[in-house]
Amino acid sequence: MTMLDDQTTAATWPTAYPEGYAVVDVETTGLARDDRIVSAAVYRLDFRGNVEDHWYTLVNPERDPGPVWIHGLTTDVLAGAPLFPEIAGALAERLDGRVLVAHNAIFDWSMIAREYARAERTAPTRQRLCTIALSKELGLPLPNHKLETLAAHFGVVQERAHHALDDARVLAESFRPSLHAAARSGVRLPLLECRPLTEWSDAPAAPRVGYQASYRQSSWRASRKRPACPYPNPGRYEPGGRLRQGMRVAFSGDTSVDRELLEDRAVEAGLHVATSVSRLTSLLVTNDQHSATSKTVKAASFGTPVIDEAAFTQLLRDVAPAAGQG
């Protein structure tokens, strides 16, 4: 145990911190919403980040494995692997009652949630923590947010990049000192809610060979163009006030609710979902207001109001009608 760890152990551990973590990594057939998991690994950690056990499995995606040059898993290797419904219970046992921890956690959580939705089950995960967001909260002096960079910062040696078990090990070993640093400094952990998918459209995958189209982004639901917002833009959101139909709302960064579903809710409430921030934008919704994304930078320059997802979903419950509508 290092001196750093001794100091952390001697200190009073924050009572608000979770009681356990499941550090997760999944390898997939691609990055899109209709892609599938080909391998998964979980390191279970106690409340201080100590490793309790680990687990790994291949998963037969029932389709072309996608970027074999990245994950190394060929059709032949995956042919005898279990299907996701066959490992869903074992994975659920390892996630149950723990915070899911992953590097770029929205991706891993989304892939897992979709697999459970296809299997007509629900993952027992209620919260997630992204190690990229945590490194930002800690102000780590990283040149970028790659896993290998985070690992190098903490002196963790990566042996097999893009192998789910080794990636999960590297992340677990990097997360522990991050967690202790947060505890010593009283940093609030950037926990986000994990909501299971409530709808699913599982279109049959077309036969694919090699570099598949879905790896370049496609949709997990039927593609559709949203109709134009029928209400005029009433202007900017006034902090403390109500949203009004016609307001232009932009989203940036990781969200607890699947982004497309969150945008659907906004449209159904009569809001205009904008893909960028301009002087006409009424509101920017982001859970990471301090990140220097193009949208947050523009919002700051234009003076656009910014709120987080939780506040936005509360406001969605009572959107004022458009001017002249009642």
Query: Mean pLDDT across the stretch 122-143?
Result: 92
DSSP letter, residue 38:
E
Among 10-14, 62-66, 191-195, the range scoring the smallest mean pLDDT is: 10-14
Q: Which ranges constitute the DSSP H helices of the chain?
A: 3-10, 68-71, 75-79, 84-95, 105-118, 131-138, 147-153, 164-185, 259-268, 294-302, 309-316
Judge whether 52 and 46 are in contact, CB under 8 Å. yes
Q: What pLDDT score does 325 carry?
A: 66
Task: List C-alpha distances in Å: 305 to 75, 103, 153, 309.
Answer: 49, 29, 35, 13
Both structure tokens of 29 = 């057939």
| pTM of structure | 0.68
DSSP states along 39-54 = EEEEEEEETTS-EEEE
CATH 3.40.50.10190 fits 248-317, yes or no: yes
Is the per-residue pLDDT at 3 higher than 50? Answer: no
Q: What is the pLDDT of residue 38?
A: 97
Is the model's pLDDT at 83 over the cut of 60? yes
Establish whether domains 21-193 and 248-317 are of one fold.
no
Phi, psi of 208 (to 5 degrees): -135, 150
17-27 tens-digit pLDDT: 999 999 999 99
Checking DSSP bridges between strand 191-193 and strand 127-130, what pairing results, if any?
antiparallel
89 has pLDDT over 90: yes
> In this model, does residue 97 exceed pLDDT 70?
yes
Helix, strand or coil, per DSSP, at residue 78: helix
Classify domain 21-193 at the CATH class level.
alpha beta
Mean pLDDT value across the chain: 85
Nearest to 100 by CA among 168, 163, 39: 168
* Residue keyed to tokens 């100091």: 7
Single out the residue of 147, 149, 106 nearest to residue 129, CA to CA.
Answer: 106
Asked if the model's pLDDT at residue 221 lies above 70, the reply is no
Would you say how long the chain is, in residues?
326
- The ranges assigned to domains in the chain are 21-193, 248-317
Residue 119 Cα to chain centre, angstroms = 20
Per-residue CA distances from 47 to 8, 51, 176, 223 (Å): 13, 10, 10, 42
Query: Strand, helix or coil at 9?
Result: helix
